[in-house]
Amino acid sequence: MKKSFRDFLDDLEKAGELRRVKKPVDLRDVSALVAQSREAALFETLAEYPGWRLAGGLVSTRKRLALAMGSSENEVAMRFEASLDRPIEPILVGNAPCQEVVLEGEDADLTSIPYPLMHARDGGPYISATCVVSKDPEYGRNVGSYRLMYRTPKETGIDLVSPSDMRFYYQRQLDRGKPLEIAVAIGVHPFEMLAASYKAPIDMDEYWIAGGLHGAPLALVKCRSVDLEVPADAELVLEGELLPIGWSADEGPFGEFSHITGDVKWNPIFRVKCITHRYQPIFYFLQMPWENDWLSAPVTEAAGLRALRNASIKPVAIKAPVGSCGYWTLIASIRKRPGEGKNALLALLSVAEVKLAIVTDDDINIHDPDDLDWALTFRVQANRDVIIVEGARGKHVDPSVRAWELGKGGLPTTAKLGIDATIPEGIPKKFYRRLEYYGRDRVKLEDYL
């Protein structure tokens, strides 16, 4: 059965992972409050916004991500990858909870929604938990996740600097001098967020991937003012268009998922035409950086698994460490045949903007930092087992790519590093035989206590 955002809140509460806050809170303070909460937070009374609630920090830990996925913590990548093999077509419905309230014309006012201020150096209040849908006449529907910075009651900035399908769609419309229609769904199940984050092939509809994750079709509803469809059970939807102005409006800084306060960027502007929401809506904000990182990890890991399998390599385990924001590093153990340590590196380094890949044999527990260090120490010769690829696609939020030196709308490049920590070809495995304690299986300490 397809679960909703509210179902996920119920799941969190049943697991003791949700804290309800009943006292009225100011939207200028919610981010700092969520940062202090060990549990996800649901603010039930918002000062100045009667009828609204606000949730944050829902997937700030791998435990809560696993709860959303319905899997163990070490199986989230496999779970995500498996769903990619069984996408489910969404269905279209006529009536939708997300359109219980419709605000058009002057009533479509962004100050009517609880727009929170998140970080000390942000360029304005932000909406961070978005599923943004757009369409291209040739390539079809696309769903991604993009932050929105408040500008005026009718306009937001939108971060569109990184390469993405929607950036491509926008560029095509810009070349025609036309706006790009978009719709922004807020308050959807983490499966929709994960699907939106996945870099699917351009002709693949991410709503199908979300259906695969749910094991049931996503119910979509037609938007009121644009020719797009959004999840029917979303809490809030913003409809409108990206103005054909190119990368010319200031946007940011924002507390990025890289844990860094970003820079001012030059981006397009989103103009809202219509706002729809549920009765008693729950505004969801993604608490940076942890929620973003934990949502990135399974997406990066699943992409790594796919890349390995496409290269005819047998992966055993994979990890996108949270220290790399679940995005820039991939560590995989494989069942290796000769040469496949290097092939695996090439495959992993092809994933998005991954800039460090480490490959081990399947006897290494990649989730144990000491075991990984051991493999790196004794199975690597730097002159033979390290590869560097220069000039690959990079990401603006990584300061080492010097994005500030680029012009408006420019795209950075990065160098990528691969470390083959598998047992080198030609070294007999006996040299890696682990020490064993004599009598290990015969004696027990408790017999002597």
Partner 1 sequence: MSPLAETILRELHAEPRQFAELVDAHRDAKWRDFLRAWGEVRAADVLGRDEDGRYLIKSA
Name which position in 56, 57, 97, 124 contacts partner 1 (CB under 8 A): 124
Name which position in 125, 298, 315, 326 contacts partner 1 (CB under 8 A): 125
Please report which residue ranges of 185-276 form alpha helices under DSSP H.
190-197, 206-214
**Integer Cα distance of 96 and 386 in angstroms:** 54
Residue 293 sits in the site that holds partner 1 (CB under 8 A): no
**Integer Cα distance of 219 and 233 in angstroms:** 8
Name which position in 252, 255, 268, 394 contacts partner 1 (CB under 8 A): 252
* Minimum separation from the CB atom of position 379 to partner 1 (A): 45
Residue 402 sits in the site that holds partner 1 (CB under 8 A): no
Whether 285 and 58 have beta carbons less than 8 Å apart is answered as no
Residue 115 sits in the site that holds partner 1 (CB under 8 A): yes
Name which position in 102, 117, 202, 356 contacts partner 1 (CB under 8 A): 117
Nearer to partner 1, 12 or 148 (CB): 148
* Minimum separation from the CB atom of position 400 to partner 1 (A): 19
Nearer to partner 1, 123 or 179 (CB): 123
Residues 38-77 that bind partner 1 (CB under 8 A): 47-49
* Minimum separation from the CB atom of position 260 to partner 1 (A): 13
Token representation of residue 303: 């992409």
* Minimum separation from the CB atom of position 65 to partner 1 (A): 30
Token representation of residue 186: 């807020």
**Integer Cα distance of 300 and 297 in angstroms:** 5
Name which position in 264, 415, 427, 443 contacts partner 1 (CB under 8 A): 264
Name which position in 120, 245, 415, 427 contacts partner 1 (CB under 8 A): 120
Residues 71-110 that bind partner 1 (CB under 8 A): 110
Over the window 132 to 171, marking each residue x when it contacts partner 1 by CB under 8 A and - when it does not, the resulting string is: ------------------xxxxxx----------------
> In 125-218, where do the E strands start and end?
126-127, 130-136, 140-144, 148-152, 155-158, 180-186
DSSP string, 58-110: TTSSHHHHHHHHTS-GGGHHHHHHHHHTS----EE-S--GGGSEEEEGGG--G
Residue 121 sits in the site that holds partner 1 (CB under 8 A): yes
**Integer Cα distance of 170 and 166 in angstroms:** 6
Whether 296 and 323 have beta carbons less than 8 Å apart is answered as no
Q: b or e along 188-197 (b: 16 or more beta carbons within 10 Å of the residue's beta carbon)? A: bbbbbbbbbb
Quick one: which segment of 62-70, 115-123, 302-310, 395-403 binds partner 1 (CB under 8 A)?
115-123
Residue 32 sits in the site that holds partner 1 (CB under 8 A): no
Which whole-number Å values give the CA distances from 280 to 6, 42, 83, 275, in the listed order?
Answer: 12, 13, 32, 15
Decide: helix, strand or coil at residue 319: strand
Which whole-number Å values give the CA distances from 147 to 27, 144, 250, 253, 420, in the listed order?
Answer: 17, 10, 14, 11, 36
Quick one: which segment of 116-124, 176-184, 324-332, 390-398 binds partner 1 (CB under 8 A)?
116-124
Name which position in 17, 39, 122, 291 contacts partner 1 (CB under 8 A): 122
Whether 102 and 235 have beta carbons less than 8 Å apart is answered as no
Q: Tokens 């020719």, residue? A: 227
Nearer to partner 1, 90 or 123 (CB): 123
Nearer to partner 1, 263 or 362 (CB): 263
Decide: helix, strand or coil at residue 36: coil
- The footprint of partner 1 on this chain (CB under 8 A) covers a number of residues equal to 27
Nearer to partner 1, 384 or 402 (CB): 402
Q: Tokens 């992972």, residue? A: 17
Residue 368 sits in the site that holds partner 1 (CB under 8 A): no
Nearer to partner 1, 123 or 212 (CB): 123
Residues 303-362 that bind partner 1 (CB under 8 A): none
Q: Which residues bind partner 1 (CB under 8 A)?
A: 26-28, 47-49, 110-111, 115, 117, 120-125, 150-155, 250, 252-253, 263-264
